[in-house]
Structure 1
Amino acid sequence: MRSRIKDDGQYYVMIDEIQLADGFVDLINGFRADSRLDVYITGSNSKFLSSDIVTEFRGKGTEIRVQPLSFSEYLPVSGLDERAAWKRYLTFGGLPEGIGLEDEDRMNYLSSLISTVYVRDIVERKGIQYPDVLNKIFDMLSSAIGSLTNPYRMQCSIRTKGLDVGWNTVSEYVGHLEDAFLFEESKRFDIRGKDYIDTPSKYYSTDLGIRNAKLGFRQDEYAHLMENAIYNELRYRGFAVDIGVIGIREYIDGKREYKQLEIDFVANKGDRRYYIQSAYHMDDDIKKEQEISPFLKLNDGFRKLVITGDDVPCHVNSMGITVMNVIDFMKNPFSLERI
């Protein structure tokens, strides 16, 4: 524990890894009785997961989540050019301690975090009855980043593996993985109806290095990795991020049919909104039309943006849609404000 006197006679009290102390809640509440103390506490494992903070200190302080490095933070310390750094960022993520390690050591570091910190802590803290099911759900969410899913679908898949598990258990375990800051859920939002669609949702990994390590670095679908990285970047910048859904009716073979178009991200912050598509490549007219067509069904004045892995300069096309290279988007925290 360290303290430092401020000029106005106040004290800073900083306690690292407070979960190692027995009865730390009473200790902190005792500090709160002294108006001269400005208290900062950190914690990282099973005794200090997100829900514990909410329960123990509700209304008594502010939670600050320390996230992995964004690409703009990672790039200058990577020692690599932009493209090489981007590829490694998608592979190994942004946890600072692993940046200086060789590839094999970094893989081992990330894998050990999963087994000795995340999974073990969740099992211990939450009293997990079926650790093998928790691991299977961890694998499934890692494999399905950017794809629609829900606990029922996961339950059905798990049962095909011979594991008899209930829907409530699957839903609970998904919540534990979110609570440990391993995944975030992004819900579908009906843009015209202005309401959320309860299920299914998309889940994104909060660090791609952890995700890739959980899958043994065997699944490197760069389109999904790029989409996940864009989602994380928007969250770093303080946006609430939903999946946009637009319902339309079209005549197909003489019949009027209903279908849904999807916009990858609806990013909101205050009175600002951006509609964003993640397109790894737009190398033909069919792909371009696929990415842009949902935008053409919108009739509001918010900015529309396609972020692509193609090597293109940032420009606004003839339909008023901004097209930007993903590295240009990621390396500049103010790239949205400047379009």
Structure 2
Amino acid sequence: MSSLVNEIHARWTSLRSGAVATSDGLPVSTLTIGTGHGLTALALNERGQAQLLLPVAAGTRRPALDTPPALEVGAASLTGAGQRRAYLVVTCVDPLLDRAFADLVEAVLTRVVSGEPAKDALVTAINDLGALFASREADAVDDRIIRGLVAELIVLRRLTARHSGAPALWFGPVPERHDFRGGSHAIEVKSSSRTAGRVTISSADQLEAPVGGTLQLWRVALERTQGGATVSSLVADIEHHSGRSAGLRSGLVALGCHDPDDEDWNRISFNCEAIDAWTVEPGFPRIVASAFTAGVIPAGIQGLSYELDPAVADAFRVDEAEMQAQEARLAASLP
């Protein structure tokens, strides 16, 4: 986390341990960042929920925006330091999302420091990061989903070490046929529990290369272990190179991971035993639409999936140098 996010957390912790209240009875900790109408502050409401107080011009109304379920945004007049001020008050109603709220607060304050009006800064930050506050799923995350995400994040970490904009190449969470794509080049990632394991291909177009381009299949062999790579540690590694990434965070949310530090998503960890790769081209063992008459899947066949044993495709195996070359092809599409 950034130093500002750490400070935000520390302030809320201090407030919860007992702090001086305003005349309105609101536990508050004033920051040094001003909006032109007063200093911003962090607070707790009567239910102990974390809040951001943004001073605004008198008469400012609540901004018109679609507020995520776990956030509340309102306008209020509060007394502090002996005078009444108008504020926009942002509340995180789910304490389990306080970490994501701190990220949102940082985004708002950063924009305010750069000269953006407080109301505009808030709207922009919520539009960028609001998906982090969608309703949480009550059911435990399936181990296979965590394993698959860890495999993709390991590949994304490699790509981000090459180019800080690499999160824009990640399409795994959305309904695109390949997990990573840049221009006409793609990488499809599959996880395996063994270095010689089979992988599941979930559609007839998953091993179809982009038109005029190239496709590699990467198998990431993951062994469960204590103290290994987790969703949280991998996201931290990626954002060490990319900075705070709205693309990465929105991709995680699309998978149901609203907070990469959530305990449920980090209850298992892995050691990456190996990453093997194959070039997918004519002759590679696969089921694709072009293998059928007229290049289409026969009518009535829905949801085609199959297991592939890459051991039968040794002629198509590529080494680390060619894997890096494919990374460079994808990265070349980035600005």
TM range (shorter): under 0.3
Please state which structure has a larger fraction of its residues in helix.
1
Higher relative contact order (CA 8 A, sep 6+): 2
Q: Which has the larger radius of gyration?
A: 2
TM-score normalised per structure 2:
0.28
